[in-house]
Amino acid sequence: MKITFIAADGTVTPVEVTAGESIMRAAVQNDVDGVIGECGGSMMCATCHCYVDDAWTDAVGPQEDGESDLLDCAASEVRASSRLSCQIKMRPELDGVVIHLPESQL
């Protein structure tokens, strides 16, 4: 399965992942700049903030319970497409998903 990360400066990084992997882990494990994931996906921080590409927001789905409160603490602007990437697990219908990264996570 494929994820395409687009950094705030326009850098495009395609990454191969397996189903069940979170988008946060995929970014961290593939050394994609712009995602920190400080708490390891425990919903304890907001350092894996991402913007889901407009073409993919329906497939990815809305924020999970509690996510918006964490995003209130995010360092960059929160938009309708904002998600915590640790809460998005890869599944077949997300193959090819495009994820935009904010300028800063801290």
Partner 1 sequence: MERIVIIGSGQGGQQAASSLRQEGYQGQILLLGEEPGLPYQRPPLSKAYMANGDAGALTLKPASFYDRAAISLQDRTRVSRIERVTREVVTEAGARHAYDHLILATGARNFRPPIAGLDAPGVVELRTLSDAAHIRDSLAATGHAVVIGGGFIGLEFAAMARAAGVAVTVIEASPRLMARAVSPGMSARFLELHREMGCTIIFDALADAILHDPHGAAAGVALRDGRQIAGDLVLVATGVRPNVELAADAGLVCDNGIRVDGQLLTSDPAISALGDVASFPDPDGVHIRLESVQAAVDHARHIARRLVHGSAADYAALPWFWSDQGKFKLQIAGLSTGADRVMSLPQPQAELLVLAFRAGRLIAVETLSAPALHMAGRRLIGASFEMLEAHGFDLRAAVKAMAEPV
Output 35 or 99, the one with its CB closest to partner 1. Answer: 35
Q: How far is the CB of 10 from partner 1 (least distance, A)?
A: 19
- Write down the least CB distance from residue 94 to partner 1, Å: 19
- Of residues 79 and 104, the one with the C-beta less far from partner 1: 104
Select 25 or 100, whichever has its Cβ closest to partner 1.
25
Q: Which is nearer to partner 1, 52 or 74 (CB)?
A: 74
Residues in touch with partner 1 (CB under 8 A): 25, 28-31, 38-40, 42-44, 65-66, 68-70, 72-73, 106
Rounded CA separation 106/73 (Å): 9
Residues 89, 78: Cα–Cα separation, whole Å: 21
Handedness of CA 97, 58, 18, 73 (dihedral sign): positive
Looking at 52-100, list the stretches that DSSP marks H as alpha helix, in order from N- to C-terminal side: 57-60, 67-71
Q: Is 72 exposed, middle or buried (0-12, 13-18, 19+ CB in 10 A)?
A: exposed
What is the smallest separation between the CB atom of 14 and partner 1, expressed in angstroms? 15
